[in-house]
Amino acid sequence: MNHDQTPSLIVIGGGAMAQAIVFGAAERGILDLERCVVVDPSDDKRRLFPNAAGTADEAVNRIRAFETSQRAEILLAVKPQSLDAVAQAWSAHASGRVVISILAGTTVAKLSSAFPSATPVRVMPNTPAKIGLGMSAIARPDVPESAATARTIFGAIGDVIEIDEAIMDAFTALAGSGPAYVFYLAQAMATAGASLGLSPIDADRAARQTILGAASLLSAEPETTAEELRARVTSKGGTTAAATCVLDDVGVLAIVQRAMTAARDRGRELGAQAVS
């Protein structure tokens, strides 16, 4: 994509998820870092981006140099609890713009209340976007064209689905928080491997590569369920069966269900704490 054709974007918040989106999309030529102004009060975070600002006025003044007939859109990447303060600083500047929000639990209705003259688009991504392997969901908008930039950005850094907004909190529990579950598993496997005699370095290396290989198999065989893949490597009376029997005995599947339900419910709570 020609740099003059890349969308101009204001990103409010420079945390880990914003970094994953911005640098992931830039790596794939979808965003030009010079046409993307990141706004964050933290000096340390601003230093990570070539075009950063500390205030709304500064950001808007910078982005005007890149705006043509199409106004820059806003990517809202702060904590849900910060929505009220952000709305106070940005409501006027957001007028007439599309506001893409990745705030967990924050509904389109709340976004519309916070930015009454803007067009909100709700998205939930995850951090593997940084390496082009993200999984994102867009809440199906009333006006499909309003999500065009969101589809372009998030489609460039992974897979994207569009779903009813009513199940966005469930998607957040699965995919938004999901990478942490995998990292938790990697930590547990490496720790257990070291306790069984491997060196910590070798145990960590083996856990990482095993998870990478297993995930790649899942991706390479989309017609095969995870349960079927698991059955293939679980011989009756073998070592894998001994391990999975322990996991079944302690109710791992039920524990994962409980964990994801807690994540979904917390997303709803965070949304309820945002401006109404």
Instruction: Catalogue all structural domains in the chain, each as residue range(s) with its CATH number.
Output: 3-168 (3.40.50.720), 178-264 (1.10.3730.10)
Helix (H) or strand (E) holding 239: helix 239-249
Residue 251 Ramachandran class (φ > 0 left, ψ -120 to 50 alpha, else beta): left
pLDDT of residue 2: 47
Q: What is the mean pLDDT of residues 99-114?
A: 93
pLDDT bracket for residue 276 (50, 70, 90): very low
d(CA 223, CA 66): 45
Q: Is the pLDDT of residue 119 over 60?
A: yes
Model pLDDT for residues 181-227, shown as the tens digit of each residue: 999 999 999 999 999 999 999 999 999 999 999 999 999 999 999 99
Neighbours of 123 (CB within 10 A): 23
pLDDT of residue 256: 97
| 94, 71 contact by CB (below 8 A) | no
User: What is the model's pTM?
Assistant: 0.88
What is the DSSP track for 56-110?
HHHHHHHHTTT--SSPPEEEE-S-GGGHHHHHHHHTTTTTTSEEEE--TT--HHH
d(CA 220, CA 244): 23
